[in-house]
Chains A and B, each alone.
Chain A
Amino acid sequence: MSPRFAIVGHPNKGKSSIVATLAEDDSVPVSPLPGTTTKARDFPMRVDGEVLYDLVDTPGFQRAREVLDWLNAHERGAEARPAVVREFLSAHRGDERFHDECELLAPILEGAGVLYVVDGAHPYGGEYEAEMEVLRWTGQPRMALINLIGTGDHEAQWRRALDQYFSIVRVFDAVHADFEKRIELLRAFGELSEEWAPSLGRAAEVLLAERTRRRARAANEIAAFLFDALTAVESRAVSDDSPDPKVETRLQARLLERIRRREHDARRVVQDIYQHGNVETQEAEIAILSNDLFSAHAFSLFGLSRTQLALTGATSGAIAGGLIDAALGFTSLGVAAGVGALIGGAGTLLGAQGLASVQVLGQSLGGMRLTVGPLSDPNVPWVMLGRALLHHRLVAERNHARREALVIDAESGAHLAEAISGQARQRLETVFRRLRSGEVRGEDRARLRGEVGALLDE
C-alpha cells in the first residue's frame, strides 16, 4: 500500500496551507476562519497513474477531551489502545457530536501516518494535550510540523511539548516554503516508517525531474515569445505616393498591440506550466515607443524589392546570352551575354510594374507597401528578457498556499537583465541583432532557447 498521511491539527493552524503547498493546488480553501475543512479529502501524488503517496486533509479536533475520557473509560492496557480507538470510531460513526473526530480518525486507523500541525508563532497551551494523547493511542507513526503563521516565536516551548508525543518534530513554514524545503519534507515523511521510505524517495526524484522539465518548457515559451516579438512586422499595401502618416501610426499601434498580447499569452503559458493558472498578476505593460520601430515604404513584388527583381532578370539574361557566346566560339566577343543581361534586367523591371498591379482575389500582386517593424531599439529585447526572467522566477518560486495577487515590479526585471554578462550577453546580442535586421537563420530559434534555458537554470 502506498504511504498515506493524515494531516491533523487544530482548525486554523495551517493544515490546509501545507496541503496546498505540497499538492500544488491553489484551489484548496485556505481561509482563516475555522471550520473550512469539514470532510477528509485525499491528495494523491500520481505518476503515470501510480500513486506514490497520499495526503489526507482532515477537519480538526473539536471535542478532544470527551474522546479521551471515553478512551480512558475503556482502557484495557497499552497493546489494546489502537483497538479501543477503533471501537470509539465504530460506536460514534453517525454521531454528529463527533463528526470531525471520526473524519480524522478513520484514515489513521486505515494505516495512515499522522502529520500533526501546530502554529509556532503563538504560545503552547494545555488544551493540545488531549488531542496529542488521542493520536498517541492510535499507535500510528507520527510527526509534528511547527508552522509559522505570525511573527511570534514560541518554537522552543512547542518542541518541548511535542517531543513528548512525536518521534520527529520539524519546522515548516507552509506559505513560504520553497521547492528545496518541500523536497526535504517529503524525505522526512519517509523517515517515519521504513516501508514508506522508497516510495517517498522516488516521489522526491520525480518532483526534481519535473522541475527541470518545467524550466525547459518555460525556456521554450519565453524564447518563442522573444522570437515572435522581435520579428513581428505589420505591413499594408499603400498607394504609390509618399506614405500617409495616419496609416503609419495605425500600423504602429497594431504592431505594439500584437506584441503586448503575445507577452500576455507567454505569461499565461508560463503560469500554467507551474500550475498557477488561477493566480492574478499585476504587471505594468511594457513601454515601447513608436520611435523604437523600423518603418519602410518600398516596392515589393513576390517579396522582392525592385533591385532584387532586376538582378534576377539580369542574371538569367546574362546566362542565356553567355551560352550563345560560347557556342559561337566567343567570336561574338561576349556581346550576347551583355545584351542578354540588359534585356533581362530591363524587361523584368518594366514587367514588374505591370505585374504588380495585377490583382488576384482583390489583392495586388505587388506594388508599394508600408512596413512597420520589427523593433529597432536595441534595448527593448533586454527589457523584454528581464521582465520574462523576473516573471518566471516569481511564478516558479511561488508557493501554492499563497492567495494574494502576484505583483511584478518593473525595476527588478531590469536588474536581472543587467546581471547577464560576458559570453552569454554577447551571444544573445548577436541573435537579437540578427532578428532585428531580418536576416533570421534557422538555428536562431534553437540558440535563443538554449540561452534562455541556461539563464533560467541559474
Chain B
Amino acid sequence: MAFALVTFTDLAFGWSTTLNVGADQIGSLVETASVPWAGLVPDAVPNAALIERSQFFRLEGAPVPGAPEALTGWWPFLLAAIVVYGMTPRLVLLVVAKARLVAATKALLLEDPRVTALLDRMSAPTLALSATETEPGRPAEETAEIAPTPGLSGAVHAVVWAGALQAADVAHAAGARLGVGVALTYDAGGARTLDEDRNTIDAIATDNPQSVVLFARAWEPPLLELLDFLKMLRARLGAGVSIVVVPVAEESSRVDDVHARTWRRAIAQLGDPHAYVEVGSE
C-alpha cells in the first residue's frame, strides 16, 4: 500500500511547530531518530537543507517552503520510521508473545493435576488383587415353601443334633416351642460316627413314633450330611410321620431371621411334604 502510494501519487511533507525550535534542533531530532538505519540506508536520513526548506508556517506572509520536488524527499525517512518504529516492534512482540505462550502452556500442562495423576499411574507398578474369573451367575433361589407345622399331640421322639441342647433342656424346649412332651431323646451328628447315626435311626424306627423333633444349632448352616440324616430317617419311618426341625439359638434367645430363612430353605430342598421347620414366634 505504501509502495503504491509512493509510486503513483506525489506525497509532499512539511513540518511545523509552535515551540521556539530551529531547523538545526529538528535536524538533531531527525538524526537521533534515524540512528537505526543511518548505516544501512543513508538516503533515508534527511539532510539539513531539506529540513530547512520544508518548514512551513500557517500565517500569511510567512516564508514559503522551497521547490515542490524537494518536499518529497522526506518519504524515505518516514517509511523507514514506520518500519523501524512501527512494524518491527510489533513483529518482535508477536514472536516473543508466541514463544512465551508455548512455554507457559508447557509448564501449565505439567502442573495440571490430571496430567500428574496420569504420569504417576504410568510409573507405578500395576497392582491387581482381584479374581481373574468372574463369579458365575447364581441360579435363582428356589421358592419351595414349607407348610406350617401341624399341631402335635402326645409325646415326641427328640433327636439332638451335634449337641444343640443339653439333655436336661430338651423337655423344656419341646414344651416351649411345640407344646409337647418328650418320650425319648437321642443324640446324632457332631463327633458321632456315621455308623452310630445309622443305629440311632434304626432305634427310632423300631419305636414307631408319631412324630420326631430334631433340635439343631440355629447358627450352624444345615449341611448336606444333616439332610442325608433326615432322608434316611424318612426312608425308615415311612411317609406319615411328622419330622419337625427346631433350630435353637444360643442361650435360648430368639432365632435370627437370617438363620431361620436358611433353615427353611434347606429343609424345603428335601421336598418332603411332612418335614417342617419350627423357629418359634416370639
What is the distance, in angstroms, from B250's C-beta to the closest C-beta of chain A? 7
A69-B194, A220-B113 given; A213·B120 CB < 8 A: yes
B residues 183-238 touching A (CB-CB < 8 Å): 189-194, 217, 219-225, 228
Cα separation A207 to B263 with both chains bound (whole Å):
41
Q: Do A33 and B132 touch across chains, with their CB atoms under 8 A apart?
A: no
Name 22 A/B residue pairs within 8 A (Cβ), A-sorted. A10-B221, A11-B223, A23-B129, A24-B129, A25-B129, A27-B135, A28-B131, A29-B138, A33-B261, A46-B127, A47-B125, A48-B125, A65-B225, A66-B194, A206-B127, A210-B127, A217-B120, A324-B29, A327-B28, A329-B28, A331-B25, A442-B111
Residue of B nearest to A41 (CB): B131
List the A side residues contacting B107 at CB < 8 Å: 442
Cα separation A268 to B224 with both chains bound (whole Å):
44
At the interface with chain B, which of A118-126, A189-197, A243-251? A118-126
List the B side residues contacting A66 at CB < 8 Å: 194, 225
Please tell me which one of the listed residues A152, A275, A327 contacts residue B29 in the complex, with CB atoms under 8 A apart. Answer: A327
List the A side residues contacting B189 at CB < 8 Å: 127
List the B side residues contacting A12 at CB < 8 Å: 221, 262
Cα separation A449 to B129 with both chains bound (whole Å):
28
11 additional contacts, CB 8 Å, given A127-B190, A213-B120, A224-B114?
Answer: A12-B262, A32-B258, A32-B262, A34-B262, A36-B138, A63-B224, A66-B225, A125-B217, A126-B191, A328-B21, A328-B28
- Is residue B88 contacting chain A, with contact meaning CB distance below 8 A? no
List the B side residues contacting A150 at CB < 8 Å: 219
Q: Do A11 and B221 touch across chains, with their CB atoms under 8 A apart?
A: yes
- Is residue A199 contacting chain B, with contact meaning CB distance below 8 A? no
Cα separation A210 to B124 with both chains bound (whole Å):
9
> For chain A, which range describes its interface: under 10, 10 to 19, 20 to 34, or 35 or more residues?
35 or more
Interface bits A44-75 vs B (CB < 8 Å: 1, else 0)? 11111100000000000111111001000000
List the B side residues contacting A429 at CB < 8 Å: none
Q: Do A25 and B224 touch across chains, with their CB atoms under 8 A apart?
A: no
What is the distance, in angstroms, from A254's C-beta to the closest C-beta of chain B? 23
Interface bits B127-150 vs A (CB < 8 Å: 1, else 0)? 111111101101000000000000
What is the distance, in angstroms, from A390's C-beta to the closest C-beta of chain B? 21
Q: Do B25 and A65 touch across chains, with their CB atoms under 8 A apart?
A: no
List the B side residues contacting A33 at CB < 8 Å: 221, 258, 261-262, 265
List the A side residues contacting B105 at CB < 8 Å: none
Q: Do A221 and B193 touch across chains, with their CB atoms under 8 A apart?
A: no
Q: Do A63 and B228 touch across chains, with their CB atoms under 8 A apart?
A: yes
Q: Do A47 and B126 touch across chains, with their CB atoms under 8 A apart?
A: yes
Interface, chain B (partner A; CB < 8 A): 19, 21, 25, 28-29, 32-33, 107, 111, 113-114, 116-117, 120, 124-133, 135-136, 138, 162-163, 189-194, 217, 219-225, 228, 250, 258, 261-262, 265-266
Interface bits A188-228 vs B (CB < 8 Å: 1, else 0)? 00000000000000000011001001001100110110000
Q: Do A327 and B120 touch across chains, with their CB atoms under 8 A apart?
A: no
Q: Do B25 and A125 touch across chains, with their CB atoms under 8 A apart?
A: no
What is the distance, in angstroms, from B126's C-beta to the closest C-beta of chain A? 5
Q: Do A125 and B125 touch across chains, with their CB atoms under 8 A apart?
A: no
List the B side residues contacting A27 at CB < 8 Å: 130, 135
Cα separation A150 to B219 with both chains bound (whole Å):
10
Cα separation A331 to B220 with both chains bound (whole Å):
109
- Is residue A294 contacting chain B, with contact meaning CB distance below 8 A? no
- Is residue A239 contacting chain B, with contact meaning CB distance below 8 A? no
Residue of A nearest to B128 (CB): A46
List the A side residues contacting B162 at CB < 8 Å: 125-127
What is the distance, in angstroms, from A59's C-beta to the closest C-beta of chain B? 11
Residue of B nearest to A125 (CB): B162
Of A22, A33, A42, A446, chain B has the most CB atoms within 10 Å of the CB of: A33
- Is residue A39 contacting chain B, with contact meaning CB distance below 8 A? yes
Q: Do B193 and A152 touch across chains, with their CB atoms under 8 A apart?
A: no
A33-B261, A63-B224, A216-B120 given; A332·B132 CB < 8 A: no
A32-B262, A324-B29 given; A62·B225 CB < 8 A: yes
Q: Do A43 and B21 touch across chains, with their CB atoms under 8 A apart?
A: no
Please tell me which one of the listed residues B28, B120, B127, B225 contacts residue A64 in the complex, with CB atoms under 8 A apart. Answer: B225
Cα separation A217 to B118 with both chains bound (whole Å):
10
Cα separation A329 to B224 with both chains bound (whole Å):
112
What is the distance, in angstroms, from A182's C-beta to the closest C-beta of chain B? 11
A47-B127, A327-B29 given; A220·B116 CB < 8 A: yes
A-B residue pairs, 7 tightest by C-beta: A126-B191, A34-B221, A224-B113, A126-B190, A62-B224, A25-B130, A327-B32
Q: Do A41 and B135 touch across chains, with their CB atoms under 8 A apart?
A: yes
Cα separation A119 to B127 with both chains bound (whole Å):
31
What is the distance, in angstroms, from A120's C-beta to the closest C-beta of chain B? 12
What is the distance, in angstroms, from B1's C-beta to the closest C-beta of chain A? 22
Q: Do A65 and B113 touch across chains, with their CB atoms under 8 A apart?
A: no
Q: Do B28 and A213 touch across chains, with their CB atoms under 8 A apart?
A: no
Q: Do B225 and A41 touch across chains, with their CB atoms under 8 A apart?
A: no
A324-B29, A327-B28 given; A445·B113 CB < 8 A: yes
Cα separation A39 to B136 with both chains bound (whole Å):
9
Q: Do A48 and B126 touch across chains, with their CB atoms under 8 A apart?
A: yes
Q: Do B135 and A122 touch across chains, with their CB atoms under 8 A apart?
A: no
What is the distance, in angstroms, from B17's C-beta to the closest C-beta of chain A? 9
Cα separation A129 to B190 with both chains bound (whole Å):
8
Cα separation A391 to B29 with both chains bound (whole Å):
72
Cα separation A41 to B131 with both chains bound (whole Å):
7
Q: Do B225 and A24 touch across chains, with their CB atoms under 8 A apart?
A: no
Q: Do B190 and A125 touch across chains, with their CB atoms under 8 A apart?
A: yes
Residue of A nearest to B33 (CB): A327
Cα separation A60 to B94 with both chains bound (whole Å):
76
List the B side residues contacting A210 at CB < 8 Å: 124, 127
List the B side residues contacting A130 at CB < 8 Å: 191
A122-B219, A216-B120 given; A328·B135 CB < 8 A: no
List the B side residues contacting A35 at CB < 8 Å: 221
List the B side residues contacting A47 at CB < 8 Å: 125-127
Of B28, B114, B224, chain A has the most CB atoms within 10 Å of the CB of: B224
Q: Do A42 and B127 touch across chains, with their CB atoms under 8 A apart?
A: no
Residue of B nearest to A324 (CB): B29
Q: Do A445 and B111 touch across chains, with their CB atoms under 8 A apart?
A: yes
Cα separation A216 to B141 with both chains bound (whole Å):
45
Q: Do A10 and B125 touch across chains, with their CB atoms under 8 A apart?
A: no
Cα separation A324 to B138 with both chains bound (whole Å):
91
What is the distance, in angstroms, from B99's C-beta to the closest C-beta of chain A? 18
Residue of B nearest to A149 (CB): B219
What is the distance, in angstroms, from A103's C-beta to the closest C-beta of chain B? 13
